[in-house]
Chain A
Amino acid sequence: SFHEYKLNFKKSKEMCLSYIQDAMLQKQWKRAAEFLTFYIESLEKNFSAECTSPSEVIWRIGTEILCHHSHSSMKEFNSFTEHVKTLGVRRYLKVCLEHTFHLLCNGLIDEAYQNLSLAESWRFGEQTVIQRKEMKLIKAYRGLLDYYSWSKQKNILLEHGQDGFEDLSVEQEMHSCFRKAAVNLEEIIKIPGVWDLFVKCYVDLLEFYGDHNEARQVLSEYAYNSKFPANPNAHVYLYQFLKRHGESKKSLISVLKILHDIVPSHELMIDFNIMLQKSKKRKRRRLGLEVIFAVLDYAGWKENVKAWSCLARQVKQIVISEKHLDWIKQEWNSRKDWWPAFHFSRYLAKKNWQENESLSYEKALVAGILLGKDCKYFKYVSHQGCKAQVKRLRVLKKFVNKHNPVYLRISG
């Protein structure tokens, strides 16, 4: 009966698919390709009303096979994709986008651009939400490619400009590229998302044409709009922009303060700490200490010499001036139950000493002040230092011994 036939067909289709998957998972691309030729029959007899049609499966599997098959070429890949594009209307834009990505990864930028322009002109009835999103991405990527050709022409012009030679046509073309790029890039970065690449390019365009206000607004919108995810890069871009344009320290600090609040372990926090340490204001120096302590809370910074030297320097300063010991005390209070095991164990002392002497020096200073001269880390390092007759460590030992009462005040 027809029903039975349908059922059998479905079963063999599924079986065929599982064979293909099995072959692909074992990297037997040739075998998978052979099975795929059988699977294509399922296109003709598509009885199912499932949401994933066989055409999508064929597209995905075919692409993957062509990416890894030893005898595939770009030409074959292109013709396969063109065929697939005609198969499914719903997936047209997605396939175009993926095709573009493939071309871009293989360095075929002009073909990719053509492909994007073609996709952009595609119309088919009412667009679904996903299709609208894909269309915007297509436009954005085209804008990106426009930006690259703009910057290429810009470089040509700049080089030639030095020679005192001006080419009007190149300049005109560059401006038209700018317009095309700016329109599309501007559109996508208004939608909530992660658009690092697009924002960077758009800001570069604006900066080149001197529209700093617009650039600044774009960047602060990207960083501070609550509909966007809390992307640390958005804050970094804003900070870099402000720094480039010589903004006041106050605004730089306020940007970094927000970054510190959302990502205390960001690598810019070292710069932030240095900036704050230099400051004359007490409040900022206080914040600096907080920032560097917070950075060293994270496992990723555990063996970072720079961070430890920042902390060591600031702690030393405070101890020498004997003012604001309460700052250290406050920071230490929430850490004293786990920092000794996390940073200052005997095992780590040994390891740091073997691997990185200057790290163990900085850490020993901090340990000596925070935990006193009897702490395991300090004892081990100073002992080893005496044995190896490192002068720096002898000075360190003297310093810690001299300021031992500080430890009592901090811990008390």
Chain B
Amino acid sequence: MEFPSALFPSYFGAGPPREEGGPAPAAGWGEHGQVLEAGPGRRQAETTFVSRCGGAGESWEPADAAAVPLLPPNAGCWVPAVTPQDILYHGVLRRKLQAGKSEAALDFTKQLRHFFVDHPEDAFGSLGRLLHQNFYLGNSKLRVSVHPEVTTLLPTPSLAAAIPSFCPFSSLQRRARDCTIRMTALREEISRLEARRGCPRKHLVPRLRWFSHLSRDWLFEVPLGLLADCVHEDLLLQWGSLLFDDSPTGGALAWLPPKDVGARMGRLVYPGGQAMNHLYFQDVVLEELPRPRGCPAQFELNGRIRQVAAARVDGEDFVGVRSDYHCGVWRVPGRTGATPTPLQVIRTSVPASCLTVSPHLSGELAVCTQSGAVYLWNVETGLQRLRHDPQTMFFRDHSPWRWSDFTAHPRVLSCADRTGLQCLDTRAPERCQFDLFKVGEEAGCQQGERVVLPMYLGRAYPSQHLVSTQFSVYVLDERLPLVPMLKWAHMMKAPPLFAHLVPGSPGRSHKVLLGTSHTQELLLLQYQGEKRGSRGGSRSACQLAGPLQKLHSIASCLQHLPAQLPHQHHLLQQRLSAPAAGLAAALQEDGPRESLTVFQLSEAGDVIINEEEEEDTGTPAAPQEAECPQEPCASPQPSPAAALRYRRWVTALCKGCGEPPQRTRPPSFSQKRLFTRKELEEPSAPSALHEQARQRLRQAMRDGGRIRHWDSPPPDLPQPLEPAAGPDPLSTRLTAAWCEDWERWWEERTRFNVAQRQRALRERRRRQKRAHGRRSLSASFTSS
């Protein structure tokens, strides 16, 4: 609990951030940040220095060529996520790429059209039923008649509808003509339009336009304006979540480490099922290639699981689960194999955005909702609201996202929004609070920088916190708020939504894993804060150790999966490139060497693992030698065990999920379109032929045979020219050649040929003779 005796030098300014334009493309590299005296070196009198960044760290190497599936694929067909192509106006994407910046144009009409086509019952249900009786699309007219008081549907065999319009009685005749549309012509035009689909010079047909104008007010189940508003709002939401979706913040994967130090079996908590609403507790044995053991304990929840958080207090694990409107807590007792027990569930009226479990006191959690409320949730005493403020803390930001975590003091909680972090005492939340982090000049932030994920680093060091933004990660100490102990640009393409801390044993670096959702990036960074200086034994300040490392993403499996048919390959590709949804890691110690197992969860519910091994490099202070000897490894092959996993996984995926059943079914036609009603009508009494046919059908079904032969036997096939006795000449020749009496065959053949030719010659002559006779006959006719 000692504070470093000297910190790295830094300027301290107050106010909004000044730096513009975001970080440089390689902002995280090539800097030492600052230096600090590290105490006297080996030679007396000489002072040695350490730098804040760029120091030497442990070297980690992936143990396998790619990530490997841990569990069989999540059951149920996965619905691919919405892509920009689905909701953006066609053609805008390309233009946008060229122009750089332009507003996204949402393809609103396409969505509305999909809605009408896919849900006609919801769109036009009641009026459709009403009109159905009178709907006859003969050569009739959509006639509209208007009476001053009453509008009636004409009971003629024509379509009739009423438009409540207030036109003078005298001009009824003229109006009626205006309000009449010939349906057949309209239908023809629609089908012509259909044929010209995709044609750039598509003109709207005036008749169609007129029809939609006439029917706008009465045809739709939901008033069109209202419906359009709703669709538009949903589109905006979808687009917003495509740009940045913060609901999975924190990640829905948790690793409960083994209870005893030497044990190898821990538990993985993850969501699954078709709607990701099943919670699984799966025992996992950590081996060379970790494997699941036994069946998982399973709970069905009534909402998609967004976040799974876990903490161990007094030897018991507490697992918090957040879905949009419900949060629950489970207790996993210390005994191995004990079943987890659900403790309590709370319901929120506004979606919850955060759930963290206290590492200090059992059964305590922190909950935040999007309305800006922060609660301390104790399983025994219930909920305590600490703050309710829809406004952000330090400056105005529209995001309703809130986060809360625990600190070194069990009664003090940190509260975060996009603008920064504050700590508040739960015993007097209004009075006792201080600012821990501010997006501003204090921490040297960039303009537009926002907090994405705060995390309490208590397991590594009791008073430190990690704050990640879309540009950088910061390590903060509660004892010196606002000034980051460590700042480092992470250079990730998307904001890191998941983070996992792997505390190192004394003398080793702590590892932090950062993960993004859509781009599936996974970074490993190391920092040190407990290295004691040789003099005095005081702690040295926080330092970044070793180069940053990228770990295999979920999609890296793809190239090692067994070869597939193109469409299946595409399916696999889609499945594996689903956004990541969670991150967890387990550290194994094999004597002096450590290995790290990183678990990743995808939104499709697949759990994939990465194995990382520490390299044997002797002293970690020699990064020059630490370079891997097999450096330009072209494309390493997966180990046999991993290859087996891949094969099994793909087989299970194809069997379990396969292709959606609609696609495999052959195209079907409605028989109503092919036959008239009269043709479809059943005869009053079945004829004898019918009876016979039915009997045969039954017989065939009983035997499991075919029903083809209830037709008359097929017509005789044309007789083969060659005598059917022997096989074709080529085969016989080859057989003969094989038996080494090819010559005999040849002789026979020639003899046969001679005989054949003689026969053919004879035949020809006979025909000629006959033809000659006939011709002479016809000639006599013509000549006469």
Task: Show the binding face of A for B, using Cβ within 8 Å.
Answer: 7, 17, 21-22, 24-31, 50-52, 56-57, 59-64, 67-70, 72, 98, 101-102, 104-105, 107, 109, 129, 133, 137, 140, 148, 152, 155, 191-198, 200, 227-233, 236, 262-263, 265-267, 297-301, 304, 334, 338, 341-342, 345, 347-348
Contact = CB atoms under 8 A, between A and B. Distances in A.
A104 B1 contact: no
B10 interface: yes
Nearest to A54: B25
Nearest to B411: A338
A56 B489 CA distance: 15
B30 A101 contact: no
A31 B59 CA distance: 18
Interface stretch (B221-229, B365-373, B622-630): B622-630
B632 A300 contact: no
A267 B536 CA distance: 14
Contact of B1 (A31, A152, A301): A301
A102 B31 CA distance: 9
B313 to A, nearest CB: 9
A98 B31 contact: yes
Given A61-B29, A105-B32, A345-B314, 4 more contacts: A28-B632, A56-B24, A105-B54, A347-B315
Contact of A24 (B54, B547, B623, B632): B547
A155 B45 contact: yes
Contact of A57 (B24, B50, B51, B408): B24
B411 A193 contact: no
A52 B25 contact: yes
B410 A300 contact: no
A227 B482 CA distance: 13
Interface of B: 1-14, 18, 20-21, 24-27, 29-37, 41, 45-51, 54, 59, 98, 314-315, 359-362, 408-411, 427, 442, 458, 462-463, 479-483, 491, 523, 547-550, 623-625, 627-628, 631-632
Contact of A193 (B9, B33, B463): B9
Contacts of A155: 45
Q: Which of B427, B549, B631 has the most CB of A within 10 A?
A: B631
Nearest to B28: A60
Q: Which 3 A-B pairs have the closest CB atoms?
A: A60-B30, A63-B30, A300-B462
Contacts of A61: 26, 29-30
Contacts of A52: 21, 24-25
Given A70-B624, A263-B3, A265-B479, A137 B9 contact: yes
A348 B314 contact: yes
Contact of A60 (B26, B48, B59, B409): B26
A300 B362 CA distance: 17
Contacts of A62: 30
Contacts of B2: 267
Nearest to A129: B18
Nearest to A133: B11
Contact of B627 (A29, A200, A265, A267): A29
B34 A229 contact: no
B393 to A, nearest CB: 19
Nearest to A57: B26
A197 B6 contact: yes
B657 to A, nearest CB: 32
Given A24-B29, A194-B10, A200-B6, A107 B1 contact: no
A304 B9 contact: no
Contacts of A29: 627, 631
Q: Which of A22, A26, A98 has the most CB of B within 10 A?
A: A26
A311 to B, nearest CB: 15
13 contacts: A21-B25, A30-B631, A60-B30, A68-B623, A70-B627, A101-B32, A104-B49, A107-B48, A231-B7, A233-B5, A263-B3, A301-B1, A304-B1
B54 A67 contact: yes
A277 B41 CA distance: 40
A300 B2 CA distance: 9
Contact of A64 (B12, B18, B29, B408): B29
A197 B37 CA distance: 8
